[in-house]
């Protein structure tokens, strides 16, 4: 489905322009030619698409008078909760101003998704405008007929659709052609006056946030096991980027990394089994307790402590920084480059005294030990038996040995969950993030650090890039693919960017770990170049940082 014309139309008209609905529908250029219009009413869109050469069918609970002049074979009286069609019979299903009327809305959407093969295009009224219309006295038809049983905000609608497995391809707010007419007719004005005022209303500029209808184009994702060439994030086709062999139990096993043509996500095929993972991680770096720590009283340590205390929610820390250091912390929070650097150095986790923190893939637990000193009640999850044992027996930490799903923590039991270069090791990251959504309290935070598939280092070193780490890394995310994944799990993204924090280390590691004087100079030069490049391309850092939150209880509940 081509969405470029939709974007151009919205960009051309700007925030104050009126989104041209008919042009938008033409611009979609649907995959396939067979369309179903659910809740077709008088059949206007059936007429519209039939005139464009599509095979289109309309469905409603009762026939309209306009049907009498049309082919009966194009229309059907039926309930959207029980559609009389085969699975995947239609390429695209339209549902304009329909779902808000149906009490069993989950059943209706499931049935719609059953009969569509590719796309769902829908619109619903925007409930955020209800107070605006009431206060101004402009009571539109949406609130007059009182037939709506569900009310959506933009956030609640998109969250619900993503939880149903849909990929949001396009979203905007629009003005349909009819609200002004119906509003004027409710005032009892003569028909000529209604037509004149309707044209007058249409030329008035209206900010996008005051447009009364939410318009979404979504793509159906397959629920079945995907072929190896299909991207696990966005379902687009991928191509082989690297192939390699890795020794496992006195034999070599062949692997490949595929790259998505759309979101630039990389994934490993085939995935490691549980037994193979134990062999691959037998001598991993999490099996030792070497910890790089700042010297007590160092300038950098005092700077980070002042930022923690002044602007990052750790005002319970003792001893309190001096006035000058608190001032330095305040300046750090104001200046974006310093703020980003401090946030990354502190792993992004904001303070919450006596809050519960879960670190997924915690290794031996050195990070948990550090966060415990900052007032967190810490818990770890680590599938590596040796690393988990070190954390429990030597550091005295609460670490569950196994996967997050196996831990079965209670609902809403944590204020924060962190993935510090661990999400890329997990074969099914979406399932894990959905489990995090269940475990987090409302407004709880999730923090993710992971290598960036579009980094400057990857472009330069290719298969030798340190961030690839084959075959331990099952997924290498781009900024776009990670955002898609987190949103699909139901989270609201607060911030996301790439960082050059590990550029110098990645240079040396990608070149075989040489630590000569010249290599150190070269690594610092690479760090400098990447920092400059980031000024022009903010997706080119070696590492992605993403912070997201679980939304509060939303207006629309299923």
Q: Any bridge partners for residue 242, and if so which?
A: 257
Proportion of the chain above pLDDT 90, given as a percent:
28
Residue 67, pLDDT above cutoff 80:
no
* Secondary structure of 178-247 in HEC code, one letter for each residue: CHHHHHHHCCCCCHHHHHHHHHHHHHCCCCHHHCCEEEEEEEECCCCCCCCCECCCCCCEEEEEEEEEEE
Domains in the chain (CATH in brackets) are 4-220 (3.40.50.150), 238-285 (no CATH), 315-549 (3.40.50.150)
What pLDDT, on the 0 to 100 scale, is given for residue 423? 96
Which helix (DSSP H) or strand (DSSP E) does residue 238 occupy? strand 238-248
* Alpha-carbon span 349 to 549, nearest angstrom: 12
Note the pLDDT of residue 329.
56
Going by their DSSP bridges, the two strands 75-77 and 399-401 should be labelled as unpaired
| Distance separating alpha carbons of residues 201 and 189, to the nearest angstrom | 15
The beta strand positions in 114-188, using DSSP E, are 116-125, 166-174
Over 70: is that where the pLDDT of 482 sits? yes
- Are the C-beta atoms of 549 and 443 separated by less than 8 Å? yes
Which band of pLDDT confidence, cut at 50, 70 and 90, is reported for residue 111? very high
Q: Across the beta sheet with 34-38, what order do the strands follow?
A: 75-77, 55-60, 34-38, 90-96, 116-125, 213-220, 166-174
Locate the DSSP E strands across 87-164. Answer: 90-96, 116-125
The conformation of residue 254, written as its DSSP 8-state character, comes to E
Residue-wise pLDDT tens digits, 276-295: 888 888 877 776 665 444 33
User: Does the reported pTM lie above 0.75?
Assistant: no
User: What integer is the mean pLDDT of 512-529?
Assistant: 86
- Average pLDDT on 308-336 reads 57
pLDDT at position 213, please? Answer: 78
Mean pLDDT over each residue of the chain, to the nearest integer: 76
Residue range 22-63, pLDDT digits in tens: 545 554 555 557 889 898 877 777 777 777 778 888 888 876
At residue 386, the 3 state secondary structure works out as helix
Q: Which of 196-200, 404-408, 428-432, 532-536 has the lowest mean pLDDT?
A: 196-200
Chain CA centroid to CA 515, Å = 39
pLDDT, tens digit, 9 for 90 and up, residues 184-228:
444 455 667 656 665 555 544 444 444 567 888 888 765 444 446
**Which of the residue ranges 205-219, 420-434, 517-531 would you say has the lowest mean pLDDT?**
205-219
Closest CA to 451 of 435, 474, 418, 417: 474
The least confident of 296-305, 365-374, 519-528 is 296-305
CA distance 345 to 449: 11
- Which of the four pLDDT bands, split at 50, 70 and 90, describes residue 124? confident
| 470: number of Cβ within 10 Å | 16
Residue 431's SS3 state is: helix
> Residue 326 corresponds to which tokens in the numbers above?
């608190």
Cα–Cα distance between 454 and 543 in angstroms, integer?
10
Which has the higher per-residue pLDDT, 349 or 451?
451
pLDDT at residue number 15: 34
């Amino acid at each position: 489905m081509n969405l470029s014309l939709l974007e151009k139309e919205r960009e051309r008209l700007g925030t104050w322009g009126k989104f041209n609905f008919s042009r938008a529908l033409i611009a979609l250029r649907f995959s396939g030619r067979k369309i179903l219009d659910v809740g077709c009413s008088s059949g206007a869109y059936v007429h519209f698409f039939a005139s464009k050469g599509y095979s289109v069918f309309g469905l409603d609970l009762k026939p309209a008078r306009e049907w009498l002049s049309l082919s009966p074979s194009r229309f059907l009286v039926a309930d959207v909760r029980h559609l009389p069609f085969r699975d995947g019979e239609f390429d695209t299903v339209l549902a304009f101003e329909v779902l808000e009327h149906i009490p069993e809305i989950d059943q209706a959407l499931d049935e719609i998704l059953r009969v569509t093969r590719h796309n769902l295009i829908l619109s619903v009224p925007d409930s955020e405008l209800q107070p605006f219309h009431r206060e101004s006295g402009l009571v539109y038809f949406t609130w007059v007929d009182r037939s709506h049983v569900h009310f959506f905000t933009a956030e609640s609608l998109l969250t619900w659709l993503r939880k149903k497995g849909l990929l949001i391809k396009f979203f905007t707010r629009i003005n349909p052609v009819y609200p002004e007419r119906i509003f004027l007719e409710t005032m009892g004005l003569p028909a000529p006056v209604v037509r004149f005022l309707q044209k007058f209303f249409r030329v008035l500029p209206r900010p996008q946030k005051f447009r009364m209808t939410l318009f979404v184009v979504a793509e159906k994702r397959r629920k079945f096991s995907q072929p190896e060439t299909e991207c696990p994030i966005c379902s687009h086709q991928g191509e082989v980027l690297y192939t390699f062999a890795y020794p496992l139990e006195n034999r070599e096993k062949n692997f490949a990394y595929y790259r998505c043509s759309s979101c630039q996500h990389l994934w490993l095929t085939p995935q490691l089994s549980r037994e193979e993972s134990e062999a691959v991680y037998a001598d991993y770096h999490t099996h030792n307790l070497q910890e790089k720590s700042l010297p007590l009283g160092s300038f950098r340590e005092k700077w980070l402590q002042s930022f923690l205390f002044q602007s990052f929610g750790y005002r319970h820390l003792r001893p309190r920084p001096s006035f000058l250091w608190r001032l330095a912390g305040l300046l750090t929070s104001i200046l974006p480059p310093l703020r980003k650097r401090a946030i990354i150095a502190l792993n992004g986790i904001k303070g919450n005294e006596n809050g519960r923190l879960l670190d997924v893939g915690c290794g031996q637990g050195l990070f948990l030990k550090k966060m415990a000193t900052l007032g967190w009640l810490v818990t770890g999850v680590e599938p590596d038996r040796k690393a988990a044992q070190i954390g429990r027996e030597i550091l005295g930490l609460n670490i569950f040995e196994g996967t997050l799903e196996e831990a079965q923590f209670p609902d809403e039991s944590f204020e924060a969950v962190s993935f510090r270069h661990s999400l890329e090791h997990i074969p099914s990251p979406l399932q894990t993030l959905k489990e995090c959504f269940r475990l987090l309290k409302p407004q709880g935070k999730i923090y993710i650090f992971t290598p960036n598939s579009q980094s400057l280092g990857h472009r330069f070193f290719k298969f030798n890039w340190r961030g690839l780490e084959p075959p331990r890394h099952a997924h290498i995310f781009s900024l776009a693919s990670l955002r898609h994944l987190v949103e699909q799990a139901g989270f609201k993204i607060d911030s996301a960017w790439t960082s050059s924090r590990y550029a110098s280390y990645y240079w040396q590691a990608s070149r075989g770990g040489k630590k000569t004087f010249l290599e150190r100079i070269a690594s610092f030069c690479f760090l400098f170049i990447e920092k400059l490049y980031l000024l022009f391309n903010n997706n080119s850092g070696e590492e992605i940082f993403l912070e997201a939150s679980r939304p509060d209880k939303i207006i629309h509940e299923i």
